[in-house]
Structure 1
Amino acid sequence: MDTRALVFDVFGTVVDWRSGVAHDIRRLVPDVDAEAFADAWRSQYLPSMDRVRRGELPWMNLDELHRASLDVLLAEYGVPDAPESVRAELVLAWHRLDPWPDSVAGLEQLKERFVIASLSNGHVALLVNMAKHGGLAWDTVLSAELFGHYKGDPEVYLGAARLLGLPPEQVMMVAAHVDDLAAARACGLRTAYIHRPQEYGSKAAPPPVSDPEADLSVHSLTELADHLNT
C-alpha cells in the first residue's frame, strides 16, 4: 500500500463519546438516567442528518442538530423546563470528549510517517475544541462541514483526498464503523477498522471484531501504528 495520509472518524473511533456525554448529563441533569439519555441522544444523529440529506432541513452543523434533538429528549425525559444555560452546556459536551487510552500515543506515532487528519461529521469548531481538549495532534482538521455533505456521501471522502492533494488510493480512512469504511472504499480509499468494544457500553450488542473488507483490522491506534510503521 502506498498510503500517504490517514483520515479518521472521531466519535467512537478516536474519542469515547458515550462516557463524556453521560458525565455531563449526570452533572447537569442529575434526575435522568445519564447513560440512557446519552444513547437516546446519539440515536438521533443519523435520522437528523438524513433529514438534511432529503432536503427537509437546510444544512446544519452538529451543534445545531444536537440542540434540536436535545430539546425533544429533555421533554421526553421529564425535564422540559431545563434552562437555556443547561441546554447550551450540554451541547458543548460533544466538544470536550476524552480520547480512548491508546488514541493520543497512536496518533503521535502515525504522525511521524503519515499526514493525519480528522474526517468527521463534527464541524470544524467542534473538532478544533476537541483536539485542544484531548491533545489530538492532527496535521489538519477536515470536516463534513467543508463539503456541505455528511459522511456516507462520496463528496466527503473524495473532497478530503482532494484537499490533501492525493489520489484516493493514497488515503486511508480509519474508523470503528463498517458503514463508514464501506463508503470510503467505494470512493477508492484504503480502509482500517478499529475495534472499539465499549463504544456503546457493556450492555450493548458488541461490534464486529474485524471488518473482512478492510485492508487492516486492529484493536487500537497504537496497533495500527505498529502495522503501518514497519
Structure 2
Amino acid sequence: MPARNATDVAAQNGAKQVKALLFDVFGTVVDWRGGISREAAAFGARNGIDRDWLAFADDWRGLYQPAMEQVRAGNRGFVRLDVLHRENLDQLFGKYGITGISEEETDHLNRAWHRLRPWEDVLPGLHRLHRQYVLGTLSNGNIALMVNMARNSGLPWDAVLGAEVTRSYKPMPETYLGSCEALGLRPDQCMLVAAHNGDLQAARDCGMKTAYINRPYEYGPHQKVDFEATSDWEFIANDMVELADQIGCP
C-alpha cells in the first residue's frame, strides 16, 4: 500500500482542522483473536478442558454483531458490551460442552476482553499522534472495558467515548455524532481511525474525517473483508506509525 503525501491529503480534505483522532479499538488497536484464544487456552489449562481455542475465540466474536443488533433494532434497551459478552460466553459454554465452571472463573474469562494487547505498531504510533491530537476511543466497548485495557497496555487515551457514552452501538449515527459532541467538537474536527471500511463509511456519512489502518490478519484465515481500503479515505496506512508519518507527527 503506497504512502500518501501528507501535505496533499491535508490540503485536499481539510485535515488540518482536525483536533481529535478517535479510534475503533477491536481489531484496529488490539488483537482480539490472539488475545482471546490465549486467555481461553489458559482457562482450559486451569480447568482441565481441551478445545480448539482459536475456534472458540472466532465463535465468541461471531456473536458480537447479532447481540448488538438486538439493541440497535430496539428489541432491548441499551446494555453494556460486558453484559453482551457474558451472555454470549454462557451460550458458547453450552455449544462447547463446558460445564461446572465457577462464577469467578467465568467472570475472569469474560474480562479477557479487558486485557487485550495492542498490535506492536500501536503504542509507538499513538505516542507520536498524541503530541499533536486529542486521542480517544470510538468503540462499542464499554467504559470499564476500555479503561482497564488502556491501563493494562499503556494506551494514551484522553477520552473514552463511543457506545456507553452515547447509549448506542456503531454504526448508528448517534454513536459517532455523540462522541464528537462530547469533546465539544464538530464532526469535521474529528477523524475516525479504523481498520474497517464500513465503520469509516458510517463516520464519513456523519461528517467525520477518516483514516484506514490495514489489518488483513485480524480474523486469521477466516477474514473475508477489509484486506485493503475500498474508498478514498483521507489517510490510508499500513499501521499507526505510517499514519503518524503521513500526518506529519514527529
- Same fold flag (TM > 0.5): yes
Aligned-partner Cα distance in 1 for 2:177–2:74: 22
Which stretches in structure 2 are left out of the alignment for 5+ residues? 1-14
Q: TM-score, normalised by structure 1?
A: 0.96
Aligned residue for 1:4?
19
Aligned residue for 1:144?
163
Deviations 1:142-194 (A, max 9, x none): 13101110111111111111111211111100001111111100000011111
Aligned residue for 1:86?
105
One-letter code of the match for 1:54?
A
Aligned-partner Cα distance in 1 for 2:31–2:212: 16
60-69 or 210-219: bigger deviation: 210-219
Rg comparison, structure with higher value: 2
1:149-168 matched pairs, under 5 angstroms: 149-168=168-187
Which stretches in structure 1 are left out of the alignment for 5+ residues? none
Contact 2:162 2:176 in 1 (8 A): no
Aligned-partner Cα distance in 2 for 1:193–1:80: 41
Contact 1:113 1:229 in 2 (8 A): no
Deviations 1:207-226 (A, max 9, x none): 32223231111110111111
% same residue: 47
Does residue 20 of structure 1 match 2:39?
Answer: no
Contact 1:211 1:217 in 2 (8 A): no
Aligned residue for 2:4?
none
- Offset, 1:203: 5.2
Q: Secondary structure at the match of 2:91?
A: helix
Deviations 1:83-130 (A, max 9, x none): 222210111100000100010111100010111111111011110000
Aligned residue for 1:42?
61
Aligned residue for 2:226?
207
Q: TM-score, normalised by structure 2?
A: 0.88
Q: Secondary structure at the match of 1:20?
A: helix
Contact 1:195 1:210 in 2 (8 A): yes
User: Structure 1's 54 and 203: CA in aligned 2 closer, same or farther, altered over 3 A?
Assistant: closer
One-letter code of the match for 1:150?
Y
One-letter code of the match for 2:219?
Y
Q: Secondary structure at the match of 1:100?
A: coil
